[in-house]
Amino acid sequence: MESSALLFNQLKAADPFFLLAGPNVIESEEHIFRMAKHIKTIAAKVGLPLVFKSSFDKANRTSSKSFRGPGMVEGLKILEKVKLAYDIPIVTDVHETIQCEAVGRVADIIQIPAFLCRQVMVNSTEKIRLAGNPNVMVCERGTMFGYNDLIVDPRNFEWMREANSPVVADVTHALQQPAGRKLDGGGVASGGLRELIPCIARTAVAVGVDGIFMEVHDDPLNAPVDGPTQWPLRNLEELLEELVAIARVSKGKQHLNIDLTPFRD
C-alpha cells in the first residue's frame, strides 16, 4: 500500500501530466517487452511519468470470437517480468472482485473498466475511499451516443474534478465505435476513429487533465483487439511532444474567477 500511495502522490504532482500507455492486450511476452522498452524510452525523452498498461483478459467482449489474451495467471507473470525488467509501474484491469487480490500483488494501479462501475464519479470514488483506499483516479472515456458511437464532452473533465481525484482522459477508448465492425466469418468487433485521437488529446490537455491514457501498438492494423483505436508507436513521440507543449501554455488547471459585477467605463 505504501508504494502505491507513493506512486499516486507522484502522479498527482506530475507536470504537466502523467501517461498511462501500452498495448490493449498481452499478445506475447516478447511483444510486451518490446513495447515497454520503446514506450519507456519515449516517455522519458518527453519528460512524462509513465505507468505501463496492458490487459491479461479482454473479458468485456460482445462477440465470443474476439481475442481475449493469455488469462490472469499467465498474464500477471508477464506483467511482473516486464515491471521488474524495465523498472516501471503497471496498470491493468480486473473483471471480477475475486481477481483484485492477485492482481494487486503485481499491478501498482488496478483499473475498474467502465462497464463495471457506475458513471456518477463522485459516488464511485467515495465508495472506494470508504472501503479503505484513498488513492483513486477517475477516467473519462466517452458517453454512449446511439448503438455504435461514443461522444467526448469536454465539460466532463471539469465536472469530474468534483470527485477530488486526479482526472485522466482515455483518448483511445473514447473514440471506439462499439461493436461497429463486422468480422469475416461472423461476429463483431469495435471499430474506431484513430485519426481523431490527436483532437481529443489536444482538447484534454488544454482543459488541464492530470493524466492521459492511451493504447499504443507497433502494428495497429494487425492488432488482435481494438486495432482501430490504438495509436501507432511510430507516431507516439510526435504526439506527446505536441501535447506537452499545449499543456505547458494552457491554464486549464487554474480556476478562472468569473466577475459578474456590472462593468463600468
pLDDT tens for residues 189-233?
567 889 999 999 999 999 999 999 999 999 999 998 888 899 999
Length of the chain measured in residues: 265
What is the pLDDT, as a whole number, of residue 235?
A: 98
Question: Is 12 considered catalytic here?
Answer: no
Q: Does pLDDT of 183 surpass 60?
A: no
Nearest Cα to Cα of residue 23 among 77, 116, 91: 91
Q: State pTM to two decimals.
A: 0.89
Question: Is 226 considered catalytic here?
Answer: yes
**Annotated catalytic residue, options 53, 57, 58, 93:** 58
Rounded CA Rg of the chain: 18
Cell of 85: 525488467
Q: Is 45 helix (H, G, I), strand (E, B) or coil?
A: helix
Contact 78, 101 (CB under 8 A): no
Which helix (H) or strand (E) segment is 219 a member of? none
Contact 79, 106 (CB under 8 A): yes
Confidence tier at 119 by pLDDT (50, 70, 90):
low
What is the pLDDT, as a whole number, of residue 198?
A: 97
Cell of 81: 517480468
Neighbours of 97 (CB within 10 A): 8
Confidence tier at 40 by pLDDT (50, 70, 90):
very high
Question: Is 53 considered catalytic here?
Answer: no
**Annotated catalytic residue, options 57, 108, 210, 226:** 226
Contact 29, 60 (CB under 8 A): no
**Annotated catalytic residue, options 24, 108, 170, 210:** 24
What is the pLDDT, as a whole number, of residue 67?
A: 64
Cis check: omega of the bond before 16, within 30 degrees of 0: yes
What is the pLDDT, as a whole number, of residue 70?
A: 79
Confidence tier at 174 by pLDDT (50, 70, 90):
confident
| Cβ-Cβ contacts under 8 Å for 117 (sequence gap 6 or more) | 124
What is the pLDDT, as a whole number, of residue 122?
A: 86
What is the pLDDT, as a whole number, of residue 71?
A: 87
What is the pLDDT, as a whole number, of residue 184?
A: 53
